[in-house]
Amino acid sequence: MNVAEATLAILAELKRQRAAGKREVFVEEESLFALAKLFGNVVPEQVGMNEVAPKPIQKEVKKPGFAPVTEKVPEVIAFEKKTLSSDFPSLPEIKLPDGDKAYQWSSLKEKVMGCEVCNRELNPQGKVVFGVGDLDADIFFCGEAPGADEEKAGEPFVGPAGELLNRIIEAMGISRDAVYIGNILNWRPRHDQAFGNRPPTKKEMSFCLPYLKAQIKIVKPKVLVALGKTATDGLLGHDPKRRLSDFRGKWNQVMDIPMMVTYHPSYLLHNPSKSSKRKVWDDMLLVMEKLEMKISEKQRAFFNS
């Protein structure tokens, strides 16, 4: 994308936000500097958009014949960051109703779709996103949280990361409908930037975890695959010392189910080197071996040369 295209994209986004009723935008200081540099010698102070609201100034006004009175000068409107919710109740472990998997799954889905907190957290046009797939799947892939495409569609992994995940699944010789795909979070984390995603907070993650665990309990897969750091931290508990580069490619145990940790497809989209792809593929080969799936020589050699 060149500067002109980027500017047009920003303009389109600002217009969209204005149409949606938004009247102020927050711009990081860094971005203002970068923009100022890009467009000549305007210094950020002159741009003047990024100030914190000053305290109302008490200005002395002299009025003839009267003692000086203080007049309130109108307050500068702050470019406020959308505040994040901090009150996430802790959900008890979810009791699944008696019945078959399909019945348990639909009643859980209904619960999630009606979940007050999940709905409260949604973006204006966003939907709550619940897991999809085969309830008898051997493999349960767990991602992080819906992105822009997913919140629109109400389905996990349908954007670019989802397309890559589909290709990984197909390379394993199966199809997307034959696995189960879920996320740690049921909604797209709100943030103030026009583009990109915010990783979920620990509070958001622990709120949603019982919903994910209930899906794992219903599907009872033979293998779980944690896609990326958030999924890993969500399912194994946060460990500040954990580095995915050391941790991936290893088996863990979650709810008595073997869990493979690998990189997130989005990570591959940003780091599309053959060696990153081969690492994820090595991890998928381990999954296939665990499930005693047939592996061809051609499959073994993917991203190898």
List residues near ligand URA by CB under 6 A.
Answer: 143-147, 150, 156-157, 159, 161-162, 183, 228-229, 244, 263-264, 266-267
Q: Which residues pair with 259 in a beta bridge?
A: 224, 252
Q: Smaller CB distance to ligand URA: residue 32 or 225? A: 225
Q: Give the nearest distance from C-beta 177 to ligand URA in angstroms.
A: 16
- Tell me whether residue 32 or residue 139 sits nearer to ligand URA (CB atom): 139
Shortest Å distance, C-beta 261 to ligand URA? 9
Rounded to the nearest whole angstrom, what is the least distance from the CB of residue 259 to ligand URA in the complex? 15
The residue number whose beta carbon is nearest to ligand URA equals 143
In the complex, the smallest distance separating the C-beta of residue 139 from ligand URA, rounded to whole angstroms, is: 16
- Angle among Cα 79, 80, 84 to the nearest 5 degrees reads 155
Our CB check for ligand URA shows the closer of 32 and 150 to be 150
Identity of the residue, 221 or 234, whose beta carbon is nearer to ligand URA in the bound complex? 234
Shortest approach of ligand URA to residue 246 CB, angstroms? Answer: 11
Q: How far is CA 67 from the centre of its chain?
A: 59
Q: Using CA atoms, how far apart are residues 80 and 26, in angstroms rounded to an integer?
A: 7
Which residues have C-beta within 8 Å of that of residue 205, sequence separation ≥ 6?
Answer: 184, 185, 230, 233, 234
Question: 225 forms bridges with which residues in the sheet?
Answer: 141, 260
Nearer of residues 226 and 254 to ligand URA, judged by Cβ: 226
DSSP string, 70-119: EEEPPPPPP-PPPPPP---PPPPPPPPPSS-HHHHHHHHHHHHHT-HHHH
Nearer to ligand URA, 133 or 228 (CB): 228
Pick from 102, 127, 100: nearest CA to 112: 127
CB of 136 to ligand URA, least distance (A): 21
Best CA proximity match to 167, nearest among 296, 265, 267: 265
